[in-house]
Structure 1
Amino acid sequence: MTTTSTPPSTETSTAHVQKVAANATLRHYLSRVAFAIIMTLVGVLFALPMVWLVLAPFDATPSLTLSWPDWTLDNFARLAENPYALRSIGNSLLLGIGTMMIVVVLGALAAYAMSRIRIPGRDGILYGLLLLSSIVTGTAAMVPTFQIITQLGLINSYTGVLLVMAGGILPTVIFILKDFMDSIPKSYEESARLYGAGPFRILRDVVAPIARPGLAFIAIWTVVQVWGNFLVPFILLRSPDLQPAAVVMYTFYTESGQADLRLISAFALLFSAPVLIIYFIVNRRYGFRFHGGIKS
Structure 2
Amino acid sequence: MNGLVLRRVGYTVFLAVVLAFFAIPMLWLASAPFDSRPGIGLRWPDWTLHNVRATVDHPYALGSLVNSLILCVVATAVTTVLATLAAYALSRVRIPGRDALLYLLLLLSSVVTGTAAMVPVFVLMTQLGLINSHYGTALVMAGGMLPAAIFILKDFVDAVPRSYEESARVFGASAGQVLRHVVLPVARPGIATILVWSFVQAWGNFLLPFLLLRDVDKQPGAVLLQTLRDEGGTANLTVIPVFSLLYSIPVVVLYLFVSKRYGFRFHGGIKA
List 4+ stretches of structure 1 deviating above 3 A.
Answer: 25-33
Of 227, 244, 262, the residue aligned with 1:286 is 262
Residue 157 in 1 paired to residue 157 in 2? no
Runs of 5+ consecutive residues of structure 1 not aligned to the other structure: 1-24, 291-296
1:75-224 correspondence to structure 2 within 5 Å: 75-224=51-200
Aligned identity (percent) is: 56
Distance 1:135 1:83 in 2: 38
What secondary structure is seen at the aligned counterpart in 2 of 1:42?
helix
What secondary structure is seen at the aligned counterpart in 1 of 2:215?
coil
TM-score by structure 1 length?
Answer: 0.86
Give the letter for the 1:36 counterpart: T
Distance 1:46 1:134 in 2: 29
Show the counterpart of 1:236: 212
What secondary structure is seen at the aligned counterpart in 2 of 1:262?
coil
Deviation at 1:48, TM superposition (A): 0.8
What secondary structure is seen at the aligned counterpart in 2 of 1:68?
coil
Deviation at 1:65, TM superposition (A): 0.5
Deviation at 1:289, TM superposition (A): 4.7
Tell me how large the CA RMSD over aligned residues is.
1.6
Please say which structure displays the higher CA radius of gyration: 1
1:45-60 correspondence to structure 2 within 5 Å: 45-60=21-36
Q: Deviations over 1:117-167 (max 9, x none)?
A: 122222222222222222222222111111111111111101221121001
Deviation at 1:266, TM superposition (A): 0.6
Give the letter for the 2:160 counterpart: I
Distance 1:196 1:99 in 2: 35
Does the 8 Å CA contact 1:214/1:289 hold for their aligned counterparts?
Answer: no
Give the letter for the 1:279 counterpart: Y
Show the counterpart of 2:251: 275
Residue 65 in 1 paired to residue 4 in 2? no
Distance 2:237 2:30 in 1: 13
Runs of 5+ consecutive residues of structure 2 not aligned to the other structure: 267-272
1:251-270 correspondence to structure 2 within 5 Å: 251-270=227-246
Deviation at 1:211, TM superposition (A): 1.0
Distance 1:48 1:124 in 2: 45
Residue 26 to residue 131, structure 1, CA distance change in 2 (3 Å): farther
Does the 8 Å CA contact 2:74/2:135 hold for their aligned counterparts?
Answer: no
What secondary structure is seen at the aligned counterpart in 2 of 1:177?
helix
TM-score by structure 2 length?
Answer: 0.93
